[in-house]
Amino acid sequence: MKYSLIIIFALHFSGLIEVVSQPIDTEVTKTNTMKLETDTISVTLEYYGWGCPCPQWITPENKIIYESKDQSDTNRFSDMFWHVRPANTMLDDPFDLMGDLEHLVLEFTGQFYSQPQYLGIEGEQKPAKTLLYYSVKK
């Protein structure tokens, strides 16, 4: 074990490996578990752009359903909108990939948390279905 630590330490400082740590935001975990579902999925999501600290991402299919219904009862449709969260800080921010503000559709690969999550954004009303993504692309 002692020699393993020395090798890892040497590789880190030689630049051959990079150790990445990310602090856990305790606000995010208010009342939720951080357990992930077992399946990794790829899903196309569109940024809807609400003017609130609420889930902002929706599948193209759910967007059609949402926009064809009476939207006055927003709670009725709240499960159609999801949060996305990068698995680490080295991943692309979805907004860096969106040059065309008319077409805000991206492909995410990741896992859903088994319980709805808070993102720790000021003013959040309730937790939402959240995708922890490992990759995102146009």
Return contacts of 75-81, CB within 8 angstroms, 24+ apart: 78/54, 78/126, 78/128, 79/128, 79/129, 81/48, 81/50, 81/54, 81/55, 81/56, 81/57, 81/128
pLDDT score for 109: 98
- Predicted TM-score (pTM) of this structure: 0.71
Question: What pLDDT does residue 56 have?
Answer: 92
Give the closest residue to 59 by CA, choosing from 93, 84, 82.
Answer: 82
Q: Tens of pLDDT along the chain (138 residues)?
A: 333 333 333 334 344 433 333 343 444 444 446 899 999 999 999 998 888 888 999 999 999 988 887 766 666 677 899 999 999 999 988 888 777 666 789 999 999 999 999 988 888 888 999 999 999 998
pLDDT at residue 3, rounded to an integer: 37
Alpha carbons 19 and 40: distance in angstroms, whole number: 24
Helix (H) or strand (E) holding 67: helix 60-68
